[in-house]
Structure 1
Amino acid sequence: MLRSARTKKRDPEGRMPLAEHLRELRERLAKAVLAILVVTVAAAFSYKEIIDFFTRPVLDSVGCPTTFADLAKRTSDTTCARITVNGLLAPFTLALKVSLTAGVVLASPVWLYQLWAFVAPGLHERERKYAYAFVGAGVPLFLGGAFFAYKVLPRTARVLIGFTPHGVDNLLPLDDLLDLVTRMVVVFGLSFEMPLLLVMLNLTGVLSGRRMLGRWRGTVVGITVFSAVATPSTDPLTMLALAAPIWALYFAAVVFSLLGDRRKARRAAPVTG
């Protein structure tokens, strides 16, 4: 009795015919897209709450007063921002954009798993173990960087709004604000992954801890320049708010790599009787 290609046992090293590869890729892409669509539809019913979650810190920081008590406190030198939406179709397109973004982000565990399940069979056992560690540590680091950006955003908004002439209200398009928030969250999140990448390079034997330590000055300067470019404001405190955690994570990666190299050296040392 013939068995279908789907039930055939795979090669121990993960090899399979090209047609089977393409079939599996199609199925995993379909599952990933379906998960994104389901979450996108669910997020569409709460897109206003999602927008409020991201814009509330900025409004609390630089938003124009809306109550009589707040208006009484406002002086002629007070600068504030009013969030606006331009155009008849803008609210609808904004709802689609926010819902789709939420779908991609919230469904990431599903499509990341599908990507991993497609790639994993072709990896060796050691590579697979490192990949598990990378994913397990990478997600909390990315979320930590994203949360850090969310907390830094109000101060960044105050600095940027300070360039507005006195007595003039700043009209801030909602789509521009969401783009700024998204960019900061992604940049902060990815920047927190850099030390993890160094650790993985060390574990695979590509980069030694001593070499990382020898280049710490250039790395610190590079992180500082990157932070200055990545943060949208010219405020040095905002730049340092991004640079300082990456410095700390970098030196933690150096210490981890040095200790790991020392353990490898002890294991490789010949045993003398």
Structure 2
Amino acid sequence: MALRRALHFVFKVGDRTKTARFYRDVLGMTILRHEEFEEGCQATCNGPYDGKWSKTMVGFGPEDNHFVAELTYNYGVAEYRLGNDFLGFTLQSSQAVSNARRLGWPLTQVGDSLYMTEAPGGYRFYLIDKDQPDSDPIQKVSLAVSDLQRSVHYWSSLLGMKVIEKNEDKKTVLMGFSDNQCKLELQDIGGTVDHGTAFGRVAFACPRDQLPDIEALVKKENHKILTPLVSLDTPGKATVEVVILADPDGHEICYVGDEAFRQLSAMDPNGNELLDKAIAADKSDEWFAKYNKHKASV
């Protein structure tokens, strides 16, 4: 399955200003593109919300060869409830560690040359205090599962990932499509996986003609298909086809046709400016304050 590749993880964020500061100033990522939408996504990219929202892609390089973060912001929501489903991003960057210290961003040492910090909203990031590699600094995304053997079977047999490493003591399995891509780490937590309202989504690309086969195989094995194969239009950009799945613990998985997605995900040199402009124009906090109301905490 070398033709398949890891793309991004979707985070719901309630404060774009603080979130942008974390990804840009602490981690040292670049705004790859920013888009504003007047209504909810057909594939629920922004969660179960129908109103105005935005999507910001951030990473250490283009999505063609880097794993990135997708930050979705719903204008009326200030905070999401975390579950125990997302266990962390791990990336290698001594510069990020240095940035956190310089900016006074909370940082906790949890191992030899390993530090833990949190993005706004409580999402955990693990920073390896070593020089940033020439390749993608993001090494793995860690998710909780309730039955490791069942999950490994799903991700390997149905989605084509290979097992790279097992750790019996930590009850973890590291999986991926190739050695030079961001990996998926599954950790057995010995109980129910709770997604809260902040539940994320992990996205992968594959050749477009593989999408119907993935959908058919998942359907044959009686696993969940959240959004059957559908075409999504982005004005002025490529139309992409996606199918949205859920693994045995309910982790959302997006598979997208690679050919069109490479066009859609091209870096926008104006991304940084567009995000700053959108933040400056966002008067939702003022509106809620004027009418003595509070943004939703869901």
> What is the TM-score normalised by the length of structure 2?
0.20
- Normalized per residue, the structure richer in strand is 2
Q: For the pair shown, which has the larger CA radius of gyration, 1 or 2?
A: 1
> What is the TM-score normalised by the length of structure 1?
0.22
